[in-house]
Amino acid sequence: TNRTFTMIKPDAVRNGHIGAILAQINEAGFRIVALKYTSLSTQKAGEFYAVHEGRPFYDELVSFMSSGPIVAAILEKDNAVTDFRKLIGATNPKEAEAGTIRAKYASSIGENAVHGSDSDDNAAIEGQFHFAGTEVFA
């Protein structure tokens, strides 16, 4: 078993998809070990996505991710990182496989409904970015 980190992004929250997305995550075999409804300041969003600093879409990404509330969660499952990225689909919803969360709920490459960590190391870093140890329930 291992863990990944996810956020339901402001577009999917605004569009009323929190419940459906969490249900699809559970049905795919992920267990929620930490969960919160929160938001990112522009400063915090900039830090979270610092790896993309300098890319042409960075300012848009930071402003979008701080545009409204998000849901942050740590998820547990065998092969969590890989399996979760399969479940969410490609970054660009036009390229996302049918049935994936992004195919169903994302509107564009920028406003793409969910985040999923891209490695075990980043899953741990991103989980700690959002949650104190006392907020995680193994």
Indicate the residue whose CB is closest to ligand GTP. Answer: 110
Annotated binding site for ATP: 9, 57, 85, 91, 102, 112
Q: CB under 6 A: which stretch of 18-26, 56-64, 73-81, 123-131 binds ligand GTP?
A: 56-64
Answer for which of 14, 36, 57, 128 binds ligand GTP (CB under 6 A) is: 57
Distance separating alpha carbons of residues 28 and 77, to the nearest angstrom: 9
Would residue 89 be called left, alpha or beta, if left means φ above 0 and alpha means ψ between -120 and 50 degrees?
A: left
User: For the window 8-47, what string marks contact with ligand GTP as x by the rule CB under 6 A?
Assistant: ----------------------------------------
Per-residue interface string for the shown chain with Mg ion, residues 73-112, x marking contact by CB under 5 A: ----------------------------------------
| Residue 121 is a binding residue for ligand GTP (CB under 6 A) | no
Name the site residues for Mg ion (rule: CB under 5 A). 118
**Which residues are known catalytic residues?**
115
